[in-house]
Amino acid sequence: MKGDRTRQTILERAVDLASLEGLHGLTIGRLADDLGMSKSGLFAHFGSKEELQLATIEAAGQRFIEQTLRPALQAERGYPRLVAICRAWLDYCRRDVFEGGCFFAAASFEFDGRPGPVREAIAGHMKNWMAAIEKAIAMAQEEEQLDPDIEPKQLAFEINSIFFGANFSWQLCREKDAIARAWTAIEWRLEALRITPSKQRRRALR
């Protein structure tokens, strides 16, 4: 009972700390100090550093889904939902949902060269995220609101790339217009692929 609450508190802090210092830079002693508890007491909740890392990744995934993906999925399916996902991500970036910038962007680039379960966990979350974007794209195509010739995987790749670029520009370069630039890029791309009712009529007339 009590343990679960503590565990959650630990992970909430762990997620932010890891977004700042990296999952490898995340240290049990530092984390315990931060929370005003003993190293051993904290450690007992996880049993190993790797377990702590994996649990931290899960917690980060939950926060991301709750604060970004789930709200965006409320939008009407098709083009609006695709746009909502993009807007939601950029807003998630701007709001600094994780203290040190996007947790998964940082983790992806940190662990892309280290084999093991941690790497696989991160890759799994990113795969799910990319799949969510692809699905939104495919739905927009089904609804005939988006050019059917564009491969969902290709467009998802491009959108996700812009997200990385935005995080970079925002976090490292501290550029005030990072999010605006990213939105401009995405809007141009999506608008060019969009099938508006008038275009649809024109298509039908051919």
Partner DNA sequence: TGCTAAAACGAACGTTCGTGCTATTCTTCG
Partner DNA sequence: CGAAGAATAGCACGAACGTTCGTTTTAGCA
Q: Could you list the residues that contact a second copy (CB under 8 A)?
A: 19-22, 24-25, 99-101, 105-106, 108-114, 119, 122-123, 126-127, 153-154, 157-158, 160-162, 164-169, 171-173, 181-182, 184-185
Binding residue for DNA (CB under 7 A) from 30, 70, 114, 127? Answer: 30
Distance CA 132, CA 193 (A): 19
**Which residues touch 112 (CB under 8 Å, ≥6 apart)?**
119
Nearer to a second copy, 80 or 100 (CB): 100
Residue 77 has phi, psi (to 5 degrees) of -60, 155
User: Is 185 exposed, middle or buried (CB count within 10 Å of its CB: 0-12, 13-18, 19+)?
Assistant: middle
Partner in contact with 48, chosen from DNA, a second copy, none, beta carbon below 5 to 8 Å by kind: DNA
- The answer to the question of residue 131 lying near DNA (CB under 7 A) is no
User: Is the CA virtual torsion 139, 142, 147, 150 positive or negative?
Assistant: positive
Residue 110 has phi, psi (to 5 degrees) of -75, -40
Q: Nearest distance from residue 124's CB to DNA, in Å? A: 21
User: Is 80 exposed, middle or buried (CB count within 10 Å of its CB: 0-12, 13-18, 19+)?
Assistant: middle
- The answer to the question of residue 2 lying near DNA (CB under 7 A) is yes
Q: Nearest distance from residue 132's CB to DNA, in Å? A: 32
Q: Which stretch binds DNA (CB under 7 A): 27-35, 95-103, 109-117, 118-126?
A: 27-35
> According to CB under 7 A, which residues from 6 to 25 bind DNA?
6-7
Nearer to DNA, 30 or 199 (CB): 30
Q: Could you give the count of Cα atoms lying within 13 Å of 13 in the half-sphere of its Cβ?
A: 17
Nearer to a second copy, 3 or 113 (CB): 113
Question: CA nearest 24: which of 129, 106, 120?
Answer: 106
- The answer to the question of residue 43 lying near DNA (CB under 7 A) is yes
**Chain residues that interact with DNA, rule: CB under 7 A:** 1-4, 6-7, 26-30, 32, 36-45, 47-50
